[in-house]
Amino acid sequence: MSAPVHVSRRRRIAAFTLLEMLVVIGLVTVLTTLVIGSGRRVSDAGKAAQARAELTALAAALGSYRQAFGEYPRTDDPARLLQALIGRRGPDHQAVNSRARLDMARFRTAAGNDPFATETAVLADPWERPYRYAYKSQAPWSNPSPVLYSVGADGLAIETLLTGGFPDRAAAGNADNVYADQP
């Protein structure tokens, strides 16, 4: 009779109990959640860094545009901004034939639209949303610079500019916006 008891002990040692299995599944779930969450934060940080780099390049293109035309493009329409930076529109959106101030190979457009084929193409940020731009699009405008930014990971932005054409960076919806003039 001692043999069956010995076999029974082996089976007990080799098998997991339901409680042990639930603990292991719970630990795996918690670890997976932590890894995915940190991966998402790293991804958003990488996209924010990419947005800062692209905004820096856009600001440089706008500086070159201003040197050529004496003024920034006067608009709050991202499609008009892109047409100006590729050399097709002047500050007041008049047709011009100028050199491009922007290397389109470094940027993507929303829905992959070709800005040379369609005037409605807009530059897209790393979250696939249009970059925001405004310059002398409302009166009075005392801001000496254009407002250029990405709405960030949450996609929220308080669109209203403060008096004079300054962005409201303190508004709750603007907390994760990435601005061209941020370090």
Look at residue 41 in the predicted model and tell me its pLDDT. Answer: 66
Query: Can you tell me the mean pLDDT for 127-148?
Result: 92
Which contacts of 114-121 are long-range, i.e. CB under 8 A and separated by 24 or more positions? 115/82, 115/83, 115/86, 116/86, 119/79, 119/83, 119/88, 120/79, 121/79, 121/82
DSSP 76-131: S-HHHHHHHHTTSB-TTS-B-----SS-GGG-EEGGG--TTT-TT--EE-TTS-BP
Residue 1, pLDDT above cutoff 80: no
44 vs 174, which has greater pLDDT?
174
Q: Is the pLDDT of residue 164 over 60?
A: yes
**Is the model's pLDDT at 10 over the cut of 60?**
no
pLDDT confidence tier of residue 104, bands split at 50, 70 and 90: very high
| Dihedral sign for Cα atoms in the order 132, 133, 138, 139 | positive
- Domain boundaries, given as residue ranges, for the chain: 2-179
